[in-house]
Structure 1
């Protein structure tokens, strides 16, 4: 027995089924970190999970659905902690401190570095992944703009939306810079951005 979720993939409705689906996504993440998207094959996942390859259709509507689920989970691991800390910050200085602490962690270690790089490359090459990334970005921009409306009610909507776009572009840009140069210090960029978006 399965239910469709909004992304078009199926998730099992029982605790055991959800646990199996989660296991398959974790295996997909391991394979992605080890060998890129081409390593996530139905056979490789099935062998590690000790299941029949056909079960991927049951849980994900096939391999492309698993790829989307893996990309979503990788994004949750890499970027979501930064976004959540940013949204929870009561003011700009607290937000900047959170970014100083969390942005370097986005790609800390070989595994996260590989996952982040694979996410960006796949979003550029695969229309479905690109659409998923676009929708995620729009949703996060909306959340940031909404938080700015609470913190800076005197700002016009255009400024809030522009600042939200700048913040998301900053996160994407810093992630790319850290992929290319893992030892890079992001502090100066974060401080400069805080000065740009701070209250006049």
Structure 2
């Protein structure tokens, strides 16, 4: 069975996106060049601009895709949690998977920083964050937590903050669990 040009093109795009996801944490957003990403992907540099409008477009798609994947990982937690307290426990346990210096944490940090300087990236990343907050707020509302939007915003900010702080001052996320528990239970949660 022969591979079609469309399939080859999809594979090149996938490899370029994967290379960008690996390189941003290694080199920093500004340290990734067309040549370096093409080399990592094992393709000619011209293919970067064939498949993406610019290097920035490639980096944005790769990073935002990784952030969407991370937000998507919360869906099973929302399905498993039976109470607001249990949701907090599951979210805190999820945070403990990251060290702050691991590639996923570094990619998130670099993406947040780059979004402060790039309006298009800022918009896309804000959509991902809003999706995360909305999912949590809907769950909190369904489980009787008062002020679900504000509570979801605080939970999301706490999760992000712990991840960002871990790179500088690692400590177990479990230390914030009791504080977050009070937030969801003092707002009418179970």
> Shorter-chain TM-score category?
0.7 to 0.9
Q: Is contact 2:93–2:174 with CA below 8 Å preserved after alignment?
A: no
Q: Which residue in the other structure is 1:126 paired with?
A: 118
1:139 correspondence with 2:131: yes
The number of equivalent residue pairs is: 182
Q: Which residue in the other structure is 2:172 paired with?
A: 185
How far is the alpha carbon of 1:66 from its aligned partner?
Answer: 0.4
Distance in 2, matches of 1:74 and 1:144, equals: 19
CA separation of 1:109/1:80 partners in 2, compared to 1, >3 Å: closer, same or farther? farther
Q: 1:50 aligns with which of 42, 45, 50?
A: 42
Q: Is contact 1:87–1:144 with CA below 8 Å preserved after alignment?
A: yes
Distance in 2, matches of 1:145 and 1:113, equals: 24
How far is the alpha carbon of 1:36 from its aligned partner?
Answer: 0.9
How far is the alpha carbon of 1:79 from its aligned partner?
Answer: 5.1
1:110-135: per-residue Cα shift (whole Å, max 9, x none)?
Answer: 43343233122212233222222212
Distance in 2, matches of 1:73 and 1:181, equals: 27
Q: Is contact 1:27–1:48 with CA below 8 Å preserved after alignment?
A: yes
Distance in 1, matches of 2:68 and 2:99, equals: 13
CA separation of 1:38/1:64 partners in 2, compared to 1, >3 Å: closer, same or farther? same
Structure 1: give runs of 5+ residues left out of the alignment. 1-12
Q: Which residue in the other structure is 1:69 paired with?
A: 61
How far is the alpha carbon of 1:51 from its aligned partner?
Answer: 2.4
Q: TM-score, normalised by structure 1?
A: 0.78
Q: Which residue in the other structure is 1:3 paired with?
A: none
CA separation of 1:150/1:15 partners in 2, compared to 1, >3 Å: closer, same or farther? farther
Q: Which residue in the other structure is 1:4 paired with?
A: none
How far is the alpha carbon of 1:161 from its aligned partner?
Answer: 1.1
